[in-house]
Each structure stands twice: as structure tokens, then as C-alpha cells.
Amino acid sequence: MEQQLYRLAKEYSGQSISDYFVQQPERFNQLSLSTCDLMLDYSKQNIDSVVLGHLVAWAKEQGLTAKINAMFNGDKINNTENRAVLHTVLRAPYAIKQQVLGDKLASEVHSTHQRMAQIINSIQSGVAKGYSGKAFTDVVAVGIGGSYYGPKVCHEALKSYRQPGLKIHYLANVDGTAVVGKLEKINLETTLVVIISKTFVTQETILNANVLKQCLLEQGCGVDDLPKHFVAVTAAPEKAQAFGVDSKNILPMWDWVGGRFSLWSAVGFPLACAIGVENFEQLCAGAYEMDQHFQTSPFENNMPVLLALIGIWNCSFLGHNSLAVLPYDHLLRDFPGYLQQVDMESSGKRVDINGDDITMAIAPIVFGQEGTNGQHAFMQLMHQRHVIPTEFIVSLKGQSPFTEHHRVLVANCFAQSEALMQGKDLKQAYDECIASGINEQTARQLAPHKVMPGNSPSSTLVIEQLTPKTMGSLMALYEHKIFVQGAMWNLNSFDQWGVELGKQLGETIINAFDGKSTQSLSGSSKALVDMFLKAN
Ligand code: F6P
């Protein structure tokens, strides 16, 4: 089937997407799909029923159904770490938790959720207090990567659902300037620090947590009162305790929940603080609805599967090695950053699950920015130089009182997908110049610069209204899309060995800063270390 898809791709690469619409008046109805208050329009893709039929047949041939079931049933599909992948069970009803995890673990997951709610309640109600006896006004979530992006993207997206009272802040990067920025906004005396780290050894997180601990001490918090200011979410409770977190304020993570899929666990603590536990439950409910759709719908009508197969068609067969994700919604401006981590850390692999080289083109470079800002930046290149498949995301209903802004924003979104597809040929460009009063010679000179090849494929994902529930469905849609792509490419989407060497060499460089051997380093890095040492 793979070979047939390569052959089809050769045939289709010259195909005009605009022409499909001339030939198929019903194309939008045929190539769009609604579920969970989301509508996916993939009619502007270079695809038709023949290609889709082959992609679906290939998915069946690859045993996609069995792979989906293996994930949901808790098989150890993360084979390099010998772990199951069960973020889905966190948002499923209790009966499913019991069925998949067994009684003991199901009850642990359930009681973790309850403890999270209790701690949040005690902070919000003012029962929990800081070292000086004052109630908490701020929460700083310290974590990075998967222990940061999920809550942060939802925190921004669900701004209008934030509860009054507590202010929530995020501290991810290891940059003193970022710490100073946070400290300017908060009073540590009334701040709860939530350390989110599955391993509790992540350099950035531990450094930031230690700095906040030190600042608390310097500000007058006694050593005995320190635990009042810390909650930890981790799979290494003994390390959190050694740091000084009270064991009753340590919420577990489990090895069967990958960091970048962990929003649904207590990693969602800062988000639940911000939007309230009920809205957090709605987020989970939206994700569960998408899980059910994913598990039960035939591939032809399965949104995550279709999104994934179209992505594979563009990348592996048509040879487009990037993917732009463009939310036309200010509230989703963090979504491309979140997606970069989930997608590229999951799919950016060199070998398959057996350790054999992957020769197929896989794992597009994912980038994006909220519209319309991207139109005034990288979209020039997309219109005239490179074909970059695009996923537009837009909310039908705006959330500001400025309705004209929303009309203009959405119009720009729809216009961009049309422009990417239609393009403009030389004759159109020339005629346009003449029509605007430019003389013939100048028109001939100018017209080539105005040509846009067009035929760039895109999908548009329309969100009925951005709510906790639809946000949950959106997040789960992309989680499953990424899983399906990994399953089809036969790679392990749930490990991230590629980030390790940088961490190891980071230690080597810090040792070099401390005057230890630089022998293993290149001349470039040695010189850079020297420069840093001279300046500091
Ligand atoms: O970037 C590598 C990574 O291991 C991510 O997968 C993970 O989400 C992040 O670092 C943070 O890890 P931890 O939760 O253990 O601090």
C-alpha cells in the first residue's frame, strides 16, 4: 500500500486543489467532519476519495485499530521505557479507571484528584496560609516542557473562565531575568509555589524552585514554615520530600503518564487553581468525548485519524517537511508552542520501535503564531516560496465585546486559506497592475513579483466556542493525531532520548565553569567557556 501511495503522490503532486472544487460541487460537505463541537474542513487539501481510500487501507494494513486499543488498554507501548501510555484513563469515568488500572490504582488516581481539589479549596478559601499567617494571593507553577505547556496553554485559552481571587503565574525557563520578573509581580509572603516535575531532577525546575525557597527564607520565612509554601507534583516523592515539601502536599504522577500528555493529572493543578475544579473537570470531559470518538469512529469519519493521515500524506508522500499551525484566536496564541513540544518531541525520531533507521520522510517541523500576526511575518514565504501545509484554527464566536474585530479576524483566517490555495498567476498579476493604472512596461516588470504559485494545502478547524470542554477536545484531538502519526510511522511517540545529550553536556560545561576539565569539548566550546569566565 505504501508503494501505491508513493505512486499516487507523483500523480497528485501537480494536481490543482482549486480545480477539485470546480469538479466536485459537494466537496466541502464530502471533506469535512464535525464532532465534539469542532468542525474539520479538509477540503482545501490536495486529497480526494481515492487518496483517502488508500490512506485508510494503509492504516488498516498497519494495524492501527490494534495499536489504538493497545494504548487505551494499557499495553506497554512505550517500549524503550517499558511503560504503558494511559493519559486517557485519567479523564475517563471511574469504571474505566477500574477496568484498566485495577481497583488499587484507580482509587489512587481518584483520591489524587480529590486531594488536588481539597488543596485548591483550602488555598482559595483562605484556610491555607503562608508563614506570616496571611492567606495566599498568588500561585507560582514551576515546571518546564510537558510539566508546563499543557496547563499554560489552557490557562491562556480559558481566560474568561478564570476565577476571581488567586493569581496564577508560570515559571519555566532557567533565566534569572524571568525569576526577577515573577518576583516583581508577587509577594512571596502570600505565594504558594507548585513544583511540577515528574523526575524532580530537571535542572531548570529545581534551580527555580531553590531560588524561590531561598528568597522565602531571606524574606523572613522560618525553616519550619517553608513547607506551607510548597506543593509538589511528581513521580519522585522522596526527592520532593528531601527538598522540603510536606508529604501531604505531594501529588503523584505515574510512570504511565508521559510528561507532555500529563495535563489531565495533578500537573493540571495550577490550571485548576485558575479556572476552578469544575471547569477542569469539563476540560477532562471534553477530552474524554474526543477519546470516545477516536476509539469508536471508523477511520473515514475519525477526526484525529483523518488529521494524522492528511499530515502523513503531505509529509511522507507529497514531501512537504513543515507544518504551520495558525490559530486565529488571541486566546490560543500559546497553542503553536504547546504543539511544537507535543508533536516534535513525540515524532522527531530517527529509528522505529525496533531500532531500525526510518527511511520514510516523517515528522514535519511544526511552527506557528496567532493570526493575523503571522500574516505580517512568515506568511510571505508561505505565499511565494515554500509550500507549507497549514492547519488554521478559528473560533466561531469571539469573546470580546469588539465584534467588528472578530469579523475581521475570521475574515483574515478564511482569506488566507483561500489565498494559499488560489494563488495568482502571471496574467492575473499583470491584469491587476493594468487595472490599477500602472503602465504596460512597469506592469510587465512588476507582475512576476506579484505571482503567488498557490496550491498550498490547508485544513481549517472551526471551534464552535472556546470553552473548557471544547478546549479539552482540541487538546485530545492533537494528542491522538500525534499518536496516530507515530503508530503509522512505527515509532515510539512516548520517549525523548534525543534531549539527553544536551543535558549531559550542560553538566560538562557547568563543570568547566567551575574550573574542571574541558578536554572533551571542542575548541569552539572551550573558547566560549573562556569568554564567559572572563566576563563573570
Ligand atoms: O524536555 C525533556 C523533558 O524530559 C520533557 O519530556 C518533560 O516534559 C520535561 O523535560 C520536564 O521533565 P520533568 O517533568 O521531569 O521535570
The pairing of strands 38-41 and 32-35 is antiparallel
The residue type found at 335 is F
Report pLDDT for 518: 81
Q: Convert the pLDDT of each residue in 174-214 to its tens digit.
A: 999 999 999 999 999 999 999 999 999 999 999 999 999 99
Q: Which of 499, 500, 503 to mutate to test the pocket of ligand 1 (most atoms within 8 A of CB)?
A: 499
* Mean pLDDT of the region 413-417: 98
Q: How would DSSP label each residue in 24-75?
A: -TTHHHHTEEEETTEEEE-TTSS--HHHHHHHHHHHHHTTHHHHHHHHHHT-
Catalytic center residues = 345, 376, 503
Contacts of 87 (CB under 8 A, 6+ apart): 257, 258, 261, 262, 264, 265, 479
**Residue 509: all three cell numbers together:** 560545561
Residue 1 has pLDDT above 90, yes or no: no
* Mean pLDDT of the region 430-442: 97
For residue 508, how far is the Cα from the chain centroid?
Answer: 31
Q: Which ligand 1 atom sits nearest the alpha carbon of residue 143? A: 16
Cβ atoms of 138 and 166 within 8 Å: the answer is yes
- In the DSSP assignment, the letter for residue 399 is S
Cβ atoms of 64 and 305 within 8 Å: the answer is yes
Report pLDDT for 264: 98
Q: How far is the CA of 74 from the centre of ligand 1 (A)?
A: 22
Of the given ranges (197-211, 370-384, 398-412, 512-526), which has the lowest mean pLDDT? 512-526
Q: Which ligand 1 atom sits nearest the alpha carbon of residue 148? A: 8
* 519 vs 407, residue with greater confidence: 407
- Tell me the angle at which helices 49-61 and 468-489 cross, rounded to the nearest 10 degrees: 70
Q: Look at residue 135 and give its three-state secondary structure.
A: strand
b/e sequence 438-452, b meaning 16+ C-beta within 10 Å: beeeebeeebeebbb
Q: Convert the pLDDT of each residue in 322-377 to its tens digit.
A: 999 999 999 999 999 999 999 999 999 999 999 999 999 999 999 999 999 999 99
Q: Which ligand 1 atom sits nearest the alpha carbon of residue 345? A: 6
Q: Look at residue 192 and give its three-state secondary structure.
A: strand
Supply the mean pLDDT for the chain.
Answer: 97
Q: How far is the CA of 198 from the centre of ligand 1 (A)?
A: 7
Pairwise CA distance, residues 517 & 111, whole Å: 49
Q: How far is the CA of 53 from the centre of ligand 1 (A)?
A: 38
Residue 425 has pLDDT above 90, yes or no: yes
The protein residue with its alpha carbon nearest to ligand 1, atom 9, reads 145
Confidence of residue 517 (pLDDT cuts 50, 70, 90): confident
* Mean pLDDT of the region 306-320: 98
List residues near ligand 1 (CB under 6 A): 144-147, 197-199, 202, 205, 259-260, 345, 496, 499
* Mean pLDDT of the region 385-397: 97
Report pLDDT for 519: 85
Residue 380 has pLDDT above 90, yes or no: yes
Q: Convert the pLDDT of each residue in 136-184 to its tens digit.
A: 999 999 999 999 999 999 999 999 999 999 999 999 999 999 999 999 9
The protein residue with its alpha carbon nearest to ligand 1, atom 8, reads 146
Place of cell 492528511: 310
* Mean pLDDT of the region 120-126: 95
Q: Convert the pLDDT of each residue in 448-464 to its tens digit.
A: 999 999 999 999 999 99
Report pLDDT for 268: 98
Report pLDDT for 154: 98
Q: Which ligand 1 atom sits nearest the alpha carbon of residue 199? A: 15
Q: Convert the pLDDT of each residue in 21-54 to its tens digit.
A: 999 999 999 999 999 999 999 999 999 999 999 9
The pairing of strands 365-367 and 390-395 is unpaired
Q: Which of 197, 198, 206, 349 to mutate to test the pocket of ligand 1 (most atoms within 8 A of CB)?
A: 198
The protein residue with its alpha carbon nearest to ligand 1, atom 16, reads 197
Pairwise CA distance, residues 268 & 262, whole Å: 8
Q: How far is the CA of 499 from the centre of ligand 1 (A)?
A: 9
Q: Look at residue 95 and give its three-state secondary structure.
A: helix
Report pLDDT for 120: 96
Q: How far is the CA of 345 from the centre of ligand 1 (A)?
A: 10
